[in-house]
Amino acid sequence: MLTLGVNIDHIATIRQARRTIEPDPVAAAFLAELGGADGITVHLREDRRHIQDRDVEILRQTVRTHLNLEMAPTEEMIEIALRIKPDYVTLVPEKREEVTTEGGLDLLSNLDYFAQVVDRLQSSGIPVSWFIDAQEDQIKAAAQTNALFIELHTGKYAEAHDEKSRQQELSFLNQGTQQAKQLGLRVNAGHGLTYWNVYPIACIAGIEELNIGHTIISRAVLVGMERAVREMKLAMQKPQNQENSRK
């Protein structure tokens, strides 16, 4: 059954805007789980622009579903993961000037190093997922690193401006999922998904979990975290009115 991982980074974004103590991502994670979240995702960035080390440490102790730590495959982050022991890590590309992650990691750029990173983490009992685009060579490379998971980047699908482009990106994601499954990889997906575009992705056979953040946090500001999470789980089960997304 398809599950939902709720990314709570933007709770920390609001907090860091004033360098204060609220809202607390730990409290947000608790409410998200009450609303039906199957997992909690946080991205500990090198510049600490939102999630802080303290957040990850407390979340590791308090999350009752599973904790997915997104991070760049750097020595600093590897050491933090080995110490914190999240339920799994998702390794992502990271540029300091970007607003949000702009695309999948290019595994072919340094495949030997990436395989070593996977070995270090998984030999310590931390499953690894690669955040990559739905490209045949990237999926093959992910399998070559012996990672257990991939997370397919759905940004191009989410940003498509017409139905033809949207269907093309959906086809790429479906093909990528099937290729990954044939190679023995488990598949998650995420980035840019909203209440109005999530359903077609949720229908792709073989995807296990969707990681969704911004749209849930945006709605939670207005209706509360528990309700926002419940409504996303409903949206994953039935199509929403596309007209509403343009209002």
The answer to whether 92 touches 71, Cβ cutoff 8 Å, is yes
CA end-to-end span of the chain: 32
Catalytic option among 10, 94, 191, 209: 191
The residues with which 92 forms a beta bridge, in sequence order, are none
Assess whether 191 carries a catalytic annotation. yes
Tell me which residue has tokens 């409903």: 234
Q: Is 214 part of the annotated catalytic residue set?
A: no
Which one of the listed residues 10, 43, 50, 153 is annotated catalytic?
43
Tokens of 192: 């840019």
Query: Is 70 known to be catalytic?
Result: yes
With vertex at residue 243, the alpha carbon angle to CA 208 and CA 160, rounded to the nearest 5 degrees, is 55
The single residue of 10, 33, 50, 70 carrying the catalytic annotation is: 70
H helices of 35-162, in order, are 53-62, 75-84, 111-122, 136-144, 155-159
* Residues marked as catalytic: 43, 70, 191
